[in-house]
Structure 1
Amino acid sequence: MKTKILTLAMLSLALISCDDFLTRDPKDTVKDTPSFWNSEYGIRISVLDYYTTYFPGYRSGWTRADNFAETNVADWNDDNAQNKATFFTTVAPTTTTATSDWNFTRVHGLNLLIERISGNTMEDEPKNHWLGVVRFLRAMEYAGLVSKFGDVPYYDTTVGSADYKQLYRARDPRATVMDKVLDDLKFATTHIRVTDGTAGLVINRDVANAFASRIMLFEGTWQKYREKNNDLAKKYLKEAMDFAKTIMDENKYTLCDNYKALTTSVDLAGNPEIIMYRSYVEGVVTHSLMAFQNTEKEESSPSRSFVDAFLTKNGLPIHQVGNTEFKGDTWYFDEITNRDPRLTDNIDATGLQLPGVAGVSAASGYFANRFVNESLKNQAGGRSNTCITDAPVMKYNEVLMNYIEAAAELAGLNAYTLTQADFDKTINVIRDRKSTSMPHLTLTGSNLSVGGVVINDPDRDDDVSSILWEIRRERRTELAYEGLRFNDLRRWSKLQYADMNLNPKLNKGAWLDKDRYVAWYNETNKAAIAAGTMKAITLENLESLNLDRSGNAGYIVPITKAALLRVYADKDYLYPIPLDQITLYKSRGYELKQNPGW
C-alpha cells in the first residue's frame, strides 16, 4: 500500500479568536493558542499545508506541471519545437491576482509560524527542528522571488496592516536578500532532523541540503553571468558545492538501475536515488502528466536542438570530426542508432509520429515519452487526469550535477582546483547507471576526453569552456524535461537559446524524406493494411508538414511565419512587477521601481 502523506488533503491553518465560545469549532481550522503551538502535531499540520506549493511534483488533476511542456517554465527554453510558439511576457500585467508571482502572502504566513514556534515552550531540539523547517520554506520562497524579480522587499517579521512604512518598504538589494536566504538554509541544514517521518515524503535534513545546493548554484551562476560579480559568485558557488558534498559524503543514496523508472514508477518508495517524491494514489490524488504523452497530440515536442545534444555511445558529440558512430540524421532509425540510451528514454524509438499519419502525433515528428509507463498506457492509471505514477521532487543525480557544475565554475574563477576525482564521483557515477552505461569522462588539462579522444564539439559556444559545455550537456540530458532548463538558461545568461530566430534548431524537428517514409510505412504495415485494420498512406497524408527546403526531403519546420517565432529581449531575464502594485505604492507616498525594460 502506497504511503499517502503527501497525497492526503492538507489541513489549512486559520487563526481564530480565543474569545469565541459556546460554538463548535470547524474541523478544518485551529485556534491560535499556546497549547496548539506547543504541540508538534499542531505545527506539523500547519507546515504540511505548504508542501504542494513548494513540492508540487506532477501537480494534480488537469493542472499542468512544469515537466515537459505546456507551462511557461516548461516551454520557454530550447527543448521543444512548437506548432504555436509560447511567447515571453510582452507587457507588464496591470493587476495582481491571488496567484501572481509578486505576492508576499506566503512570506507573512511563514513569518507568523516562525514567531509562534519561537514563542512556544518546547525543548530546544523540537523547537529548532520546526524553526529549521519553516526557515527552509522561507528560504525557498525568497529564492523564488529573487529568481523572478531580482531585488525584493525582505520581511523577517509579520507586519501589521496599518504599518505602511514596512508594508511599502523599498526593494532590498538582491545580494542582501540572498544572504538572508543563505542564513535560513544554514540554520535549516543544521537543525532539521535527519529523520522525521517517512523518508522521501517529508522535509528532512537531506531534502534541505539538496534544495540548498540548487538554490545556491542558481545564485552563484547568476552572479557570475548576469551580475558580473565574481566575489559573490564564488561565495554562493562554494555553498552550493558544500551543501551537495554533505549529502554525497553520507553515502546514503545511490543511483537506481533504470533511468526511466525515475519518472514512470507507480511507487517510488525505497528507490535508492530518491531524496523526495510526491506520492499519487488512485482515488486520493492523481495527475494528468502521463496522459499528455500518451493520449494527446504533442503540440510541443522534442526539437532538433534537444535531440542533437545527446552523444553517441562512444561519448563523443555527434558532429565531432571523426565520430563514425553517428550514422547521420536523414533517416530516423539511423539517427537513434549508437546514441546515449537516455535519448530513447525520452523519445519514442518505434518511429516518427507524424501529423496526418499518427492519431497521436508530435509537432516535430519526435514523440516524447519520458513520463509514459507502458504497462499503464491503456489503463485509468495512465490516462486522463487519473494517472498514478509517482513524481520525483528531488533526486541524487541532481545533487551530483549541482556539485560538479559548482566545482567547475569555481575552478574557472580560480577558486578551486578541479580534479579527476570530482568527475569520478559525479558524472562518471551517473554514466555507470546500468540503463545508461556511457563512457567515463577523463580530465585532460583544460579539456575532457573519452577513450583517449579529446572532446571537441564544433557546436560549442565560443564563450563557454569545453569542460563547462560538457557538464551542461550532461545536465540537460540527465535532467531532461524536469522543469529545470528555463532557469538554467537564465542563470547562464543563455536565454538566446530560447529565441527561435537566434537558435534555428529550436524550430526544427526530424529530417523527413516523404517518399522514403511513405514506402517504409506501407511496407512495415502491409499485413495490417491487407487485413483492412490500417490504411495505406500517400504523399497527401504528409502535405501539412512543412520542410526547411524545397522538395520532399528536409527538416520538419512547425512554424513558417517569422512573426510567429518566439524572440527574447534582455528584459526577459526578470519578470515584470504588476502595474497596480506600483500604483498602490505611489498612492501611499512610496515608490516601487519597475524592473529594467518593462
Structure 2
Amino acid sequence: MKRISYILLATTLLGVSCKKEFLQRNPQTNVTKEEFFNTPADLETYTNGLYTQLRATWADVFIGDKFSDDISVFTGGSEVDNFIRGGITPATVGGWNTWNQLRSINYMLDNAGKTTGDQAAINHYIGIARFFRANFYYKMVKRYGDVPWYGHVMGTKDEDMLYKAKDPRTMVVDSIMADLEYAAANVLPARTNNTYVTKWGALTLLARIALHEGTYRKYHTELNLQASAQTYLQRAISASQEIISNGGFDITGSGAAGYRALFSSADLSANKEVIFLQKSSKDLGVTNNTGVVLDWQWALNGRLADEFLMNDGTPFTSVPGYDKKTFTEIFANRDPRLAETIMPPGFTTTPTNSPYVTRPSFGGYLQVKFYPRDPALRGGYDLNYTDLPIFRYAEVLLINAEAKAESGTLAQTDLNATVNKLRSRVGMPALDMAAANAAPDAYLAAAYPLVTGSNKGVILEIRRERRVELACEGFRLDDLYRWKSGALLAQKPVGIYVPALGALDVTGDGVADIAILQSKTDESPIAGLPASVKDKLTKYYISDGDFILSNGTSGQIMFTKDNTSPRSFIEPKYYYFPIPLEQTVLNKNLTQPTGWQ
C-alpha cells in the first residue's frame, strides 16, 4: 500500500492545529508516506482518524448488550439471535471483513520509524496505534479464537502472508498484551480532554482484556490453558490497581440521579468517573442515536430485572412469589438502578407529558438507560446530543474485585474499595464477603454452576453487580462467553407478569391503561369496565401471535418465536463464530474454529 486516501483522514482534520499546512501539501488527493509521517503532528493527525474504531453505536451497546440474555425480543436483525436458533453456518455468516482497520493501523506503525522530533510524543502516538491494534485483535480473538496475526502491511506480492494459516490464540493474545503494555508505558497520562485515549485508557483496556482472557482460560478447560489463567488475572489486578491508586478517578454523583447522569448528560467532559468519552455536540453536529433505546425494536429481559436486589440488600428472587409480582409491584423497595435501567410505572419523556405506556408485545420491560431525559438533547432519529462514556471507572473497580475474587486474593477491604463504592452511590447496603461465601445465593448458583470453591458466594455477587451496574453497556455477551455460561442464551426470555386476561394498570395511577385479550372476537374480560375506561385502553391480542402467557390465560409474557424457532447453545461450538465459507475457499490454509470444521 503506497498511498492513503484523504478520505481515510477526513474525520481527523477537524480541530487539528496543523490543518492548514496539512491541506496545502501535494498531491491534494493522496498522502504519500514520503511526505507524511515526518513529525509528531503527522502522527497525531493520523491517529485521530483511528478513533472511529472505538465509537459506540446503538447496534452493539445501547441495545442491551449486543443481543445478549438481557434482551427479551428484538424485531430487527440480530446475528446472535440467528446464531442461537441455528441460522448461522459458514455459508451464511458475515464478518471477517474488518481487516482494513488493521491495515490502516499497521500502515502508520510501518512508517512511524521515519518520524523525527520529540521522542516521547512519537512514542505516545505509536502507543495509540498499538492500543487500537490490540483492540482490533481482541475482538477477532473473542469471535474466532485462533486468528492470523499480521504485524505489518502486506502487499499483493506477499502471498505467503496473505494465505497464511491461523496463529494460535496464545501467540495472538501475547501480541495483544505486548501492544497494550507498550501503550500503557508510552501513552501520556493526560490530554486536553477525555475524548482522547490516555495512559489510563490504555490500562483500562489492558485490565479488561487481561480479566477476559484470565477467566476464559480458567473456565474453558477444553483449551488446556488453565495454568496461565492466573498470570492474566494478576495483570488485571495490577493494571486496575494502578488506575485506582494513581489515575485520580472517582465514583461521581449520588443516588439514582447521580447514576442516571452518566448516561443522559449533555457534558461529561469534567466528570471524574469518565476515563474515555464519546463527545456529542449540537453546535458541531456530532450526534448519537440513543433516543431509540426506548420502545423502538426491543425491550429488556425480566431475568435481568430479577437480579436487581431489594433495597435492603437481599435478593429479589428470595421474595416469596417474586415471579408473580406485577409490573407496578416489582419496582417497590428495589435497588435504585433498576428504575434507571428499565422504565418504571409513571415514567414520562417530558415533565408535562402523560406517563409512557409500556407495550406487552415486547415483554413490557422497556429500556431507559441512555435515553436522553432532557427534550433539548433529543432531535429525532440519530439526532441526540448526550455524551457517551466508553471507558468508565466503575468498570475498573469491578475488574479489580472480580480478578481478586477469581485469583483467591480478595479481602473485605478490596470489596469496600470497589463494589461497595458503587453500591454506596445509590444507597445500597455493602456487600459482605463472609456472609456471601457462607450462604451463596441459590438463584445465581443455579445460573453459574461452574463457580465453585471458598469464594463462590462473593464471585456470584460480583457477577450480579457487573450485570446491574453495567447493564446495556455492551459487556454482557462477552461476560457469558468468558464465564462459559453461554447456556443462559438458550433460556427463553420473559416479560411482565399478567395475573389474568383483561385490563392492566401499567402507569401506577390505579387506572387501567392496556388490555391483554385472547382475540378480537372475545373481549369479555373487559366487558364490565366503564366505557370511559374501555375506550382509552390499548388492546393487545394473544391471537396476533407475537406473545403468549406462560400459563395460557395468566403468567409471564413469553414469545411465540421461542416456541416456533427454539433457542439452543451447543458447547463448545457456539463460543466461536465460523469463518465465512468463501474465505476458507480463497485461503485453503484457514481452518474453522472448534466445532465448525
TM range, normalised to the smaller chain? Answer: 0.7 to 0.9
Structure 1 counterpart of 2:427, which letter? Answer: S
Quote how far apart the aligned CAs of 1:290 are.
Answer: 2.8
The CA deviation string for residues 339-389 of structure 1, in whole angstroms up to 9 with x for no partner, is 111101111212699xxx97763511122111223222xx57253221111
1:65 is paired with a residue whose SS is helix
Aligned position for 2:190 = 195
- Alignment partner of 2:559: what SS? coil
CA RMSD after TM alignment: 3.3
C-alpha distance 184-520 of structure 1, shift in aligned 2 (>3 A): closer
Following TM superposition, by how much is the alpha carbon of 1:51 offset from its aligned partner in structure 2, in angstroms?
0.5
- For 2:472, give the aligned amino acid: Y
CA 1:153 to 1:560, structure 2 compared with 1: closer, same or farther past 3 Å? Answer: closer
How many Å apart are 1:276 and its aligned residue?
0.7
The answer to whether the Cα contact below 8 Å between 1:152 and 1:172 also exists between their aligned partners in 2 is yes
Structure 1 residue 228, shift from structure 2 partner: 4.2
CA distance in 1, matches of 2:278, 2:368: 20
Structure 2 counterpart of 1:163, one-letter code:
D
Aligned counterpart in structure 1 of residue 495 of structure 2, from 497, 503, 509: 509
Match of 1:213 in 2: 207
Query: Pairwise mapping of residues 538-549 of structure 1 onto structure 2 (< 5 A)?
Result: 546-549=548-551
Contact 1:213 1:239 in 2 (8 A): yes
> Counterparts of 1:272 and 1:427 in 2: how far apart (Å)?
17
The offset of 1:204, in angstroms, is 0.9
1:216 is matched by which residue type in structure 2? A
Q: Which amino acid in the other structure matches residue 203 of structure 1?
A: V
Q: 2:117 aligns with which of 122, 127, 152?
A: 122
5 Å matches for 1:346-495?
346-350=341-345, 361=359, 363-376=362-375, 379=376, 381-411=378-408, 417-433=409-425, 436-444=426-434, 447-448=436-437, 454=439, 456-461=441-446, 462-464=449-451, 465-495=456-486
User: Contact 2:189–2:198 at 8 Å: present in 1 too?
Assistant: yes
Change (3 A) 1:533 1:145: same
In the alignment, the residues of structure 1 paired with residue 241 and residue 334 of structure 2 have an alpha-carbon distance, to the nearest angstrom, of 31
- 5 Å-filtered alignment, 1:264-343, equals 264-282=264-282, 284-287=284-287, 289-294=289-294, 297-320=295-318, 329-343=324-338
1:238 partnered with 2:234 = yes
Instruction: Answer yes or no: is the 8 Å Cα contact 1:347–1:367 preserved in 2.
Output: yes
* 3-state SS, counterpart of residue 277 of structure 2: strand
Mapped pair 1:559 → 2:560: yes
Structure 2: distance between partners of 1:260 and 1:336: 16
CA contact (8 A) 1:256 1:271 kept: yes
2:276 counterpart SS class: strand
CA-CA distance at 1:273 after TM superposition: 0.4
C-alpha displacement of 1:293: 3.0
Give the C-alpha shift of residue 184 in structure 1. Answer: 1.1
Task: Report the Cα offset of residue 95 of structure 1.
Answer: 8.6
One-letter code of the match for 2:474? G
Match of 1:87 among 62, 82, 87: 82
Aligned equivalents of 1:521 and 1:273: distance in 2? 33
Structure 1 contact 548–555 (Cα < 8 Å) conserved: yes
In structure 1, list runs of 5 or more residues that go unmatched.
Answer: 1-6, 13-21, 59-63, 412-416
Percent identity for Structure 1 against Structure 2 = 27
In structure 2, the residue matched to 1:61 is none
| Aligned amino acid, residue 437 of structure 1 | G
Partner of 1:253: 249
Alignment partner of 2:445: what SS?
coil
Q: 1:238 to 1:522 in 2, by over 3 A?
A: closer
Q: Residues of 2 paired with 1:557 and 1:240: CA distance?
A: 39
CA distance in 1 between partners of 2:357 and 2:380 (Å)? 16
Change (3 A) 1:541 1:518: farther
Distance of aligned partners of 1:124 and 1:341 in 2 relative to their CA distance in 1, 3 Å threshold: same
**Structure-2 change in CA distance of 1:156 and 1:261 (3 Å):** same
In structure 1, distance between residues paired with 2:416 and 2:509:
47
Residue identity in the other structure for 1:456: D
Contact kept, 8 Å, 1:314 with 1:439, in 2: the verdict is yes
Letter in 2 for 1:242: S
Find the aligned partners of 1:327 and 1:222 in 2 and give their Cα distance: 33
1:256-278 CA-to-partner distances (Å, cap 9, x unmatched) read 11111111111111111000111
Higher helix share: 2
Note the alpha carbon deviations across 1:499-532, whole angstroms, 9 max, x for none. Answer: 1xxx24x2x11111246744787974599x9998
In 2 relative to 1, CA 409–459 (structure 1 residues): closer, same or farther, beyond 3 Å? closer
Q: How far does residue 281 in structure 1 lie from its aligned partner after superposition?
A: 1.4
Q: What is the one-letter code of the residue matched to 1:383?
A: G
Equivalent-residue separation in structure 2 for 1:251 and 1:521 (angstroms): 43
Distance 1:520 1:293 in 2: 19
Shift of residue 466 of structure 1?
Answer: 1.6
1:234-282 deviation line (CA, Å, top 9, x unaligned): 1111111111111001150111111111111111111110001111112
Distance 1:222 1:448 in 2: 23
> Aligned match of 2:150 in 155, 162, 169?
155
The alpha carbon displacement at 1:163 in A equals 1.6
TM-score (norm 1): 0.82
Closer, same or farther in 2 for the Cα pair 1:287/1:567, shift >3 Å?
Answer: farther
Q: Quick check: 1:344 aligned with 2:344?
A: no
Match of 1:15 in 2: none
Q: Which amino acid aligns with 1:367?
A: L
Residue 270 of structure 2 aligns with an amino acid whose one-letter code is G
Q: Is the 8 A contact 1:118 1:127 kept in 2?
A: no
Task: Return closer, same or farther for 1:216/1:83 CA change in 2, 3 Å cut-off.
Answer: closer
2:488 pairs, out of 497, 500, 506, with 497
| 2:577 corresponds to | 575
Give CA-to-partner distance per residue, 1:13-39, whole Å, 9 cap, x none. Answer: xxxxxxxxx99633x6433225x3222
Contact 1:280 1:388 in 2 (8 A): yes
In 2, the alpha carbon distance for the partners of 1:432 and 1:216 equals 27
Does 2:73 correspond to 1:74?
no
Question: Between Structure 1 and Structure 2, how many residues are aligned?
Answer: 536
1:157 is displaced (CA, Å) by 2.3
TM-score by length of 2: 0.82
Any conservation in 2 of the 1:266–1:390 contact (CA below 8 Å)? yes
Is residue 11–residue 29 contact of structure 1 (8 Å, CA) maintained in 2?
A: no
Cα offset, 1:330, TM superposition: 2.3
